[in-house]
Structure 1
Amino acid sequence: MLDIDWTTEEPAVTAGQLLVVPLRSGHDPEAITQRFGAAVRDAVARVPFAGKPGESFAFTRERDGVIQHVTLMGADALTEPASLRQLAHDAAREAQRVGASQLVLDLHGADGLPAEGDDALRVGNLVAQGVQLGTYVYDRFLSESNRRPSSLRSVTAWGRSAAPTEGSNRGRIVADAIARARDLGNGPPALVTPSYLAQVAADMVAALAAEGHDVKLTVLDADECKARGMGCFLGVGQGSDEPPKFIHLAYSPKGESKARVALIGKGVTFDSGGYSLKPTDGMLDMKLDMCGAAAVIGSFEGAVRLGVPYELHALVAAAENLVSGKAYKLGDVLTASNGKTVEINNTDAEGRLTMADAMVYASKLEPALMIDFATLTGACIIALGPRIAGVMTNDQALHDDWMAAAARSGEDMWRLPLPSNLKEQLKSKVADMRNTGERWGGALTAGLFLSEFTEGIRWMHIDIAGPAMASKAYGVTTPGASGVPVATILELLSGPIQLEQS
C-alpha cells in the first residue's frame, strides 16, 4: 500500500522524485516561465501542449545537486471527481514510467480545490483512489521475468491545506475494494469458479472477523438450493461439472443499524451461452460475466472496513453456463423459488435466471431495499455505449440517491425506463413468462423480467455490461475488469439513504 500524505509546504527535492503539475486548457504560459524558466516555456509551446487531458510534457532538471523528473499534465477542472481521480491515477502511472519512487502531486495552485470540511475529505479520498489504482496490475500468471514491479513507494500531495489527509484512508479502502473486484474479474475461468468465489468469501470473512467485525458467511450447495426451490438458478448451472454455489455475506455495524440493505451480483463465472452458443469473439471475455458478483464481494469488504451504518447482505448465485448433455435447453420450463415458471427461449439470457432466485432469497431477508448489479445485456451497451451503466427503477428516491453517489464517485450512469407495456413481450403460452423478449429494447425487457421477482421490496437494477469490462485503458480503468461500480456502492452506503419510496 502506498504511503500517501498531504502538505502545505513545497516538498524537498530528493533523488527518484517525480513532480507532476496539472495545467488546464488556456493556462498562462508565463506561469511556466516564472516557475521553470523561458526555455521550458518555449519547449512546451513547440510541442504544442494545450493542457487537454491525456497531454503531457516531461523534462528533467537539476536542483540542489539532485535530478528531478517533472511532468506538466493536462487536466480538466479538478472540482470534477472523475477528473481529479484520473489526474492522480495518471500521475502514478507516469511515476512508474520514469522509475520514480516518490510522487509529488502539485495541487496547491489548482483553481477551485477546497481546503477544508467535507470537500477536503472528498479530495483526499479521490486522490488516494487515483494514485493507488494507478499502481494496479493483474500479473498473477506472468512469469517473474515479465513482471514489472511498481517503483512508486510514496505520494505527497502538495495542497493549500493538509485537511484532505483524513480522506486518504477512505480512498485506500475504496481502491482496495475496486482492486479486489478487478482481480476476481481478471482471473481465468479455470481459477475463478463458483467454488473459488465461495472460498474467497470465506477467507474474507475470516480476515474481517479477526479484525473485530461482525460478519458471517453462508454458502448453499446445489441440494440446499434445490430444497429452497431455486429452479432457475440451478437450471443455468446444471450443464457444468463445476457445482453451483449460493453465497450470502452478512455484516452488522457496531452501532444501531439504520436499515438493512441487500446487494445482489450476477455470478456467472463463465458464460458460453449454453445451447444458444456464443461465437468465439463473443465468448472471449465471458470470464467477466461475473463482474456483478465481483463488485458486490469487493464492496462488501470495503463497506465493512469503512464501518458503514447499514446492516449489509451481499448475495451471489454463482454458476457456469456451459453446454453438455445435462445443460438446460431451449423450450425447457424452469420454476423459480417464488413459484413462477419461466419458458426458456434463449439459454444465453441466463443471468436474469440466476438473479431471479437471488432476488427472491434477498426479499425473505426483508431488506429496506435491494440493488442488483449484472453484466446483463449487450443491448445496454448498444443503448449507452461501453462506459455508462444503465440504471432502472421505479423508485425515484432510490434513483436520486444512487445517481448522487455516482456523481460524487466519478462513475458514469444513466437512467433507462421500465415501460410496463413491454412486458407483453415476455408472455409465454406454456409458462408464466419467457426469459427474453424481442431484440429491440432488450435491456428494458431484462429489467422488466427481474421486476417480477422483487416480492414487493424497494429495488433498483444496474446493468453494468458496458463499464464492468474494458477493451482498452481510459480514465482510471485498465483493460479487463474495471471494478465499476464499487466506488458508487461504497459512496451510497456511506451517506444517508432515503428510506421511503417516492
Structure 2
Amino acid sequence: MNFTFVTGDATLANGELLVIPLFEGELSEGAPVSLASADRALEGRLRGAATQEGFKGKADQSLMMHTLGRTTAGRVLLLGLGHRARFQPETLRLALGRAAKAAQRLKVASVAVAIPATPSSADAVRAVVEGLELGAYRFDKYKSSAREEKGAQKPVKVALVLPEGTEKSRDVEDALALAKTVSEATNWARDLVNEPPNAVTPAVLAEAARKSAREHGLKITIGGKREIEKLDMGMFLGVAAGSTEEPRLIHVVYTPKNARDAKRPPLALVGKAITFDSGGLSLKPTEGMVEMKTDMAGSAAVLGAMQVIAAVKPPFPVHAFIGACENMPAGNAYKPGDILTSRLGKTVEITNTDAEGRLVLGDILTWACEHQPSAVIDLATLTGACIVALGNYIVGAFGDHDGAVNEVLQAARTAGEDMWRLPVSELQKDALRSEVADMKNSGERWGGSINAALFLKEFVGETPWVHLDIAGPSNSPKERGYNAKGATGVGVRTLVEWVRLRAQNQATEPAEASSAKPARAARGSRKSAKS
C-alpha cells in the first residue's frame, strides 16, 4: 500500500472509502471533525442511520453507508473503538483490520482514514497502518478462483487524515515506516506458515532464510546433517531420523557496524521449526495432523523479526538459531523407550515421540547459550496444554528471570499481542524424572505446558531465558480483526518491540559496562560454540 499524510477535512481526502473510527459517545456529543463533516455533507443522515442501526461506537461495531455522491468517497465506514478511557492501540489495529477486509470485499483501490485523536498520534498511525496491511493479507495462491479473479485485491492508496491540530512530524513518519516494515515481515512469516508441508520442507525453509538474510544485509550460516552431527545434537538428530527430508541448522546474525556495539553481548532468538509433525511413532490422529504444517510458526516469527531488526539497527548483535526438521514415522524413526544424548550431555528417555519440539529446542538452546547472549527467548508451538489453559489468542510466557520475563511482557503489550505468564514450578519436576536417564521428554498430562517449559529450562543454565508457547495464537481458527483464518505471524511484533526496548535501555550505556560480564552458557556444556 502507498500511504500519504493529509490534513484538513476528511471528506475531501481522496479515497473511494472513508473510514472514521469513533469512541463511545462521540455520535451524540464531542463528535470529531471528520464525523461532523461527513454528517453535514450527508444532511444528518449518517448519525441518523447510526442511531437506527444501534451503532454506538462500541468495540467491534461497524456501520457502512453510501454517500450517494455527496462526498469524495462513495461510502463511509464507521468503526467502533469502545470507551476512550480504556483505549489501547490494539483496539484501533483490530478495527482497521476489519476496514481492510471491507475494502477488499468492495474492491476499492483507495481509502481515506481519519486518524482518531489519541494520546500519541504516532501510536495511532502505527496501529492504523498495521491494521490495514495485516487485515488486507490473503493466502489464496493455490485457489484457481483467486488467480482468475479480476479487480483490486486490496487498497493501493491510503490517505491518512491527521487529527485536527496535528501536523505531520518525524514521529508519525517514523511510525509509518516501522509499521510498514513490521507488517511486511509479519505477512512474510504468515506466508511461510500457511504454505503446505510439501512446499516448505526444512531445505526450503533454510533457503527462504538465506534469501531473506541476503535481502536485509544479514549474515547467515546453514548446516545439514553432518554439521548437526559435529555439534553432537543427539536429540535433534533423533527427531529428524524418521524423515527422508534432511534437517537444517540455521544461524542468522545481525551485527552493528559500530565496532564498540558489535562487542556487546548479543540477544538470542530461537524458533521451533518442525515443518511437519506427524507425531512420529506416537502418531497423531488425522484431525490432529491436518494443521501440523504450522509447527514451524516459531521459526517463521523469528526470521520475520530479523528482517525488521536489520532495519531498526539496535546497538548490539542479535542472533537467530533454528533447527528445522520433520517428525515422521519410519523404520529408522526414534522410538518410545529410546535414550538420546543432548549436546549438553544430558540423557533423555523418550516416552512420547510427539513431544519432539522440546528435544530439538533443547539442543538449539544449548548452542544459542554457548554464544553468551545477554538473554535468550524461544518461540514454539509447543503444547496443546497451553491452548487448553489460555485459548486461541493468548501466548503462554514462561521463565524464572523476572527482569527478562517482564521485559517481554512489556514488549508484548506495546505490540498488542496478548501474553500471560505461567509458572515454571519445581513442583512439576517429578513428572520428568526418569528411572534410566537424566530425564524424560514427556511426563503426565497435568501441567503439560509447565512440564515442557521445565524441560527447556534444563538447557539454558544461568542465561536469562523466556519461553513463549504460541501453540494457540499462531493459527487463528476464524477471521478476527486483522487476522484471517490461518497463520497470524504472532511473535514478530513482540520480538521487534523487545529488541527496541533493549536498544532504548542500552543506547546510553557504555559498551564496557554492558559487555563486562555476559551471561554464562548452559551449565555442564562439553562443547565449544560453532556456527
The interval holding the TM-score normalised by the smaller chain is over 0.9
Q: Structure 1 residues 145-154 or 337-346, which shifts more?
A: 145-154
Q: Name the residue aligned to 1:27.
A: 26
Per-residue Cα deviation, 1:392-423 (whole angstroms, up to 9, x for no partner) = 11111111111111111110000000111211
Q: Name the residue aligned to 1:140.
A: 141
Q: Name the residue aligned to 2:7.
A: 8
The structure-2 alpha-carbon separation of the partners of 1:321 and 1:100, relative to structure 1 and needing over 3 Å to count, comes to: same
Q: 1:173·1:306 contact (CA, 8 Å) conserved in 2?
A: no
The structure-2 alpha-carbon separation of the partners of 1:57 and 1:344, relative to structure 1 and needing over 3 Å to count, comes to: same
Q: Name the residue aligned to 2:529.
A: none
The structure-2 alpha-carbon separation of the partners of 1:243 and 1:460, relative to structure 1 and needing over 3 Å to count, comes to: same
1:102 equivalenced with 2:110 (yes/no): yes
Q: 1:125·1:171 contact (CA, 8 Å) conserved in 2?
A: yes
Per-residue Cα deviation, 1:437-464 (whole angstroms, up to 9, x for no partner) = 1101000010000000003211111100
1:442 equivalenced with 2:448 (yes/no): yes
C-alpha separation in 1, matches of 2:127 and 2:77: 20
- Note the C-alpha offset of 1:6: 2.3
- Note the C-alpha offset of 1:14: 6.9
Q: 2:97·2:483 contact (CA, 8 Å) conserved in 1?
A: no
The structure-2 alpha-carbon separation of the partners of 1:241 and 1:100, relative to structure 1 and needing over 3 Å to count, comes to: same
- Note the C-alpha offset of 1:16: 5.5
Q: 2:275·2:324 contact (CA, 8 Å) conserved in 1?
A: yes
How is 1:415-494 mapped onto 2 (pairs within 5 angstroms)? 415-494=421-500
- Counterpart code for 1:120: S
Q: 2:15·2:159 contact (CA, 8 Å) conserved in 1?
A: no
Q: 2:390·2:396 contact (CA, 8 Å) conserved in 1?
A: yes
1:204 equivalenced with 2:212 (yes/no): yes
Per-residue Cα deviation, 1:348-368 (whole angstroms, up to 9, x for no partner) = 000000000001110111111
Of 291, 294, 314, the residue aligned with 2:320 is 314
C-alpha separation in 2, matches of 1:305 and 1:67: 35
Q: 2:97·2:132 contact (CA, 8 Å) conserved in 1?
A: yes
Of 156, 171, 181, the residue aligned with 2:189 is 181
- Counterpart code for 1:6: F
- Counterpart code for 1:132: E
C-alpha separation in 2, matches of 1:324 and 1:53: 51
SS in 1 for 2:179: helix
1:150 equivalenced with 2:153 (yes/no): yes
The structure-2 alpha-carbon separation of the partners of 1:365 and 1:77, relative to structure 1 and needing over 3 Å to count, comes to: farther
- Counterpart code for 1:232: M
Of 377, 386, 393, the residue aligned with 1:380 is 386
- Note the C-alpha offset of 1:204: 1.3
1:363 equivalenced with 2:369 (yes/no): yes
Q: Name the residue aligned to 2:64.
A: 58
Q: 1:139·1:147 contact (CA, 8 Å) conserved in 2?
A: no
Q: Give the share of equivalent positions with the same residue, in percent.
A: 39
Q: Name the residue aligned to 2:508.
A: none
Q: Name the residue aligned to 1:278.
A: 284
Q: 2:271·2:378 contact (CA, 8 Å) conserved in 1?
A: yes
SS in 1 for 2:66: strand
Q: Structure 1 residues 137-146 or 375-384, which shifts more?
A: 137-146
How is 1:37-436 mapped onto 2 (pairs within 5 angstroms)? 37-63=43-69, 68-77=74-83, 79-107=87-115, 110-111=116-117, 113-114=118-119, 119-143=120-144, 144-146=147-149, 149-160=152-163, 161=166, 162-163=168-169, 164-209=172-217, 215-255=218-258, 256-257=261-262, 258-436=264-442
C-alpha separation in 2, matches of 1:83 and 1:64: 30
- Note the C-alpha offset of 1:425: 1.1
C-alpha separation in 1, matches of 2:203 and 2:71: 57
C-alpha separation in 2, matches of 1:439 and 1:392: 18
- Counterpart code for 1:458: P
C-alpha separation in 2, matches of 1:14 and 1:446: 53
Per-residue Cα deviation, 1:237-289 (whole angstroms, up to 9, x for no partner) = 11000000011111102332454011000000000011111111111100000
- Note the C-alpha offset of 1:15: 7.3
SS in 2 for 1:496: helix
C-alpha separation in 2, matches of 1:5 and 1:105: 10
Q: 2:16·2:72 contact (CA, 8 Å) conserved in 1?
A: no
SS in 1 for 2:216: helix
Q: 1:374·1:463 contact (CA, 8 Å) conserved in 2?
A: yes
TM-score by length of 1: 0.92
C-alpha separation in 2, matches of 1:428 and 1:358: 22
- Note the C-alpha offset of 1:88: 2.3
The structure-2 alpha-carbon separation of the partners of 1:187 and 1:121, relative to structure 1 and needing over 3 Å to count, comes to: same
Q: 2:252·2:321 contact (CA, 8 Å) conserved in 1?
A: yes
The structure-2 alpha-carbon separation of the partners of 1:67 and 1:410, relative to structure 1 and needing over 3 Å to count, comes to: closer
TM-score by length of 2: 0.88
C-alpha separation in 2, matches of 1:191 and 1:104: 38
The structure-2 alpha-carbon separation of the partners of 1:265 and 1:491, relative to structure 1 and needing over 3 Å to count, comes to: same
- Note the C-alpha offset of 1:155: 1.2
Q: 1:77·1:83 contact (CA, 8 Å) conserved in 2?
A: no
- Counterpart code for 2:415: S
The structure-2 alpha-carbon separation of the partners of 1:65 and 1:279, relative to structure 1 and needing over 3 Å to count, comes to: closer
Structure 2: any 5+ residue segments left out of the alignment? 506-513, 520-531
The structure-2 alpha-carbon separation of the partners of 1:232 and 1:148, relative to structure 1 and needing over 3 Å to count, comes to: farther
- Counterpart code for 2:290: L
Q: 2:11·2:71 contact (CA, 8 Å) conserved in 1?
A: no
The structure-2 alpha-carbon separation of the partners of 1:276 and 1:291, relative to structure 1 and needing over 3 Å to count, comes to: same
Q: 2:15·2:158 contact (CA, 8 Å) conserved in 1?
A: no
Q: Structure 1 residues 252-261 or 445-454, which shifts more?
A: 252-261
The structure-2 alpha-carbon separation of the partners of 1:201 and 1:147, relative to structure 1 and needing over 3 Å to count, comes to: farther
